Amino acid sequence: MEPDFWHQRWHNNQIGFHESAVNPSLVTHLPSLELAGGSRVFVPLCGKTLDIGWLLSQGYSVVGAELSQLAVEQLFTDLGIEPGITEAGRLSRYHARGIDIFVGDIFDLTPKMVGQVDAVYDRAALVALPEPMRKQYTAHLSAISRVAPQLLITFEYDQQLMNGPPFSVPNNEVHSHYDDHYRVVSLSSGPLVGGLKGKTAAIANVWLLKSRPQG
Ligand X SMILES: C[S@@+](CC[C@H](N)C(=O)[O-])C[C@H]1O[C@@H](n2cnc3c(N)ncnc32)[C@H](O)[C@@H]1O
d(CA 127, CA 213): 27
Chain positions 106 to 165 lying near ligand X, rule: CB under 6 A, are 106-107, 123-125, 128, 165
Q: Which residues of 91-118 are buried (b: 16+ CB within 10 A; e: fewer)?
A: bbbbbeeebbbbbbebeebeeebbeebb
**How would you class 199 by CB atoms within 10 Å of its CB: exposed for 0-12, middle for 13-18, buried for 19 or more?**
exposed
Question: Whose CB is nearest to ligand X?
Answer: 47
The answer to whether 46 contacts ligand X (rule: CB under 6 A) is yes
Between 130 and 179, whose beta carbon lies closer to ligand X? 130
d(CA 88, CA 95): 11
What's the closest the beta carbon of residue 213 comes to ligand X, in angstroms? 29
Query: Per CB under 6 A, which region of 44-52, 91-99, 176-184, 192-200 contacts ligand X?
Result: 44-52
The answer to whether 47 contacts ligand X (rule: CB under 6 A) is yes
Total residues at interface with ligand X (CB under 6 A): 20
Q: Phi first, then psi: what are they for 152, rounded to 5°?
A: -130, 135
The answer to whether 56 contacts ligand X (rule: CB under 6 A) is no
With the CA atoms of 88, 118, 80 and 16 taken in that order, what torsion angle do they form, in degrees rounded to the nearest 10?
A: 90
Q: Binding string, 58-87, against ligand X, x = CB under 6 A?
A: -------xxxx--x----------------
Alpha helices in 58-190 (DSSP H): 69-79, 111-114, 131-144, 171-178
d(CA 185, CA 124): 19
What's the closest the beta carbon of residue 170 comes to ligand X, in angstroms? 19
Between 66 and 173, whose beta carbon lies closer to ligand X? 66
If DSSP codes are grouped into helix, strand and coil, which group holds residue 184? Answer: strand
Between 132 and 215, whose beta carbon lies closer to ligand X? 132
The answer to whether 55 contacts ligand X (rule: CB under 6 A) is no
Task: Summarize as ranges the residues that interact with ligand X (CB under 6 A).
Answer: 6, 17-18, 45-47, 49, 65-68, 71, 105-107, 123-125, 128, 165
